[in-house]
Amino acid sequence: MKHGVLSAKWKGVAAVLVLIFGAAFLNSAPLFAQGTAGKIVGTVTDQSGGAIAGATVIVTDMDRNVPRNLTADPSGEYSAPNLLPGNYKVRGEAKGFKAFERSGVFLEVNGEIRVDLTMQPGEVSQTITITNELGLALKSINAAHLQRIMSLRLEEIFQLVAEELERAGLADYLRAGVFLCGGGSRVPGIVALAENVFQMNVTLGKATAISGLTAALDQPEFAAAIGLVKYGSLKKRQRVKRSAFGFNTGMIKGVMGKFLQRS
């Protein structure tokens, strides 16, 4: 019985010791991390040195593939504390500026590195995601590459049109210049591109007002359709006038013929 009682007592003491050492270990873990962790700080500015408040800074642990998103304060400053030693990449993004990235940033144990980011004017690169009928993404296309392809194709189309006009001898009749209609005429920079090819004034075509729908339809994409409708309406009115004039003329001829026969 005594042996059993002593064994129970020692088991209790052992359990208490385990709890004490476990708690001590857990309490020392943050201290260990704080002793080895480092920090990356810096300032986000433009070309003139002005602070870019609210810029997004992404600090990525390349060894563990763990990103951390930060926001620059009103002075453009950012700070990423409690970082494990290793290789990092720092990327800055801000509206109206090109993204700027610094890679190969090595942080030593308990070290601190300053990585300042100087942003250049320009829009952040965007991607366009193409989806299928179910809304699932099929592929992503870089917007800048797509714009370049569209610009080359539009230039090719304008050159073909210009060649056809020259071949038909109609180029000299375009004294008022070229009018671009349709949704494609809303492509940014298309007017300057067309002027460079045709070597004459280029204007975005817009339909004249239709009562009650001016604001909604006074756009280049509706110009051709509205023009055809108005042209058809004009032709119809002309036909009505001609038929009315022809009816009156026939009636007058008939009356005059009967009158002459009687005489």
Residue 83 has pLDDT above 90, yes or no: yes
Element housing 232 (H / E):
helix 220-262
The answer to whether residue 178 sits within a structural domain is: no
Tell me if residue 211 falls in helix, strand or coil. Answer: coil
Do residues 60 and 97 make contact, with C-beta atoms less than 8 angstroms apart?
no
The answer to whether residue 74 sits within a structural domain is: yes
Handedness of CA 250, 253, 255, 261 (dihedral sign): negative
The answer to whether residue 153 sits within a structural domain is: no
Residue 196 has pLDDT above 80, yes or no: yes
The answer to whether residue 254 sits within a structural domain is: no
Q: What is the domain-level CATH number for residue 21?
A: 2.60.40.1120
The answer to whether residue 257 sits within a structural domain is: no
**Helical ranges in 141-219 per DSSP H:** 143-168, 190-198, 214-217
Tell me if residue 62 falls in helix, strand or coil. Answer: coil
Residue 227 has pLDDT above 50, yes or no: yes
The answer to whether residue 229 sits within a structural domain is: no
Residue 252 has pLDDT above 70, yes or no: no
The answer to whether residue 111 sits within a structural domain is: yes
Do residues 92 and 100 make contact, with C-beta atoms less than 8 angstroms apart?
yes
In the chain, count of helices (H) and strands (E)? Answer: 5, 12
Cα(105)–Cα(77) distance, rounded to whole angstroms? Answer: 18
What token pair was written down for 76? Answer: 């453009």
Q: What pLDDT score does 210 carry? A: 57
Q: What percent of the chain has pLDDT over 70?
A: 69
Cα(185)–Cα(191) distance, rounded to whole angstroms? Answer: 8
The answer to whether residue 146 sits within a structural domain is: no
Tell me if residue 78 falls in helix, strand or coil. Answer: strand
Residue 166 has pLDDT above 60, yes or no: yes
Residue 92: domain span: 2-118
Please give the residue that has the higher pLDDT: either 123 or 192.
Answer: 192
Q: Which long-range contacts (CB under 8 A, 24 or more apart) does 169-176 make?
A: 174/198, 174/200, 176/201
155: amino acid identity, one letter: E
Indicate whether this model's pTM tops 0.85. no
Rounded to an integer, the average pLDDT of 139-156 is 81
Q: What pLDDT score does 7 carry? A: 56
Mean model confidence pLDDT for the chain: 77
Q: What pLDDT score does 17 carry? A: 43
Domains: count for the chain: 1
252 Cβ neighbours under 8 A, 6+ residues apart: none
Cα(165)–Cα(171) distance, rounded to whole angstroms? Answer: 5
Measured N-to-C along each axis, helices 143-168 and 190-198 cross at an angle, to the nearest 10 degrees, of 30
102 Cβ neighbours under 8 A, 6+ residues apart: 89, 90, 91, 115, 117
Cα(218)–Cα(227) distance, rounded to whole angstroms? Answer: 11
Residue 122 has pLDDT above 90, yes or no: no
Cα(216)–Cα(16) distance, rounded to whole angstroms? Answer: 80
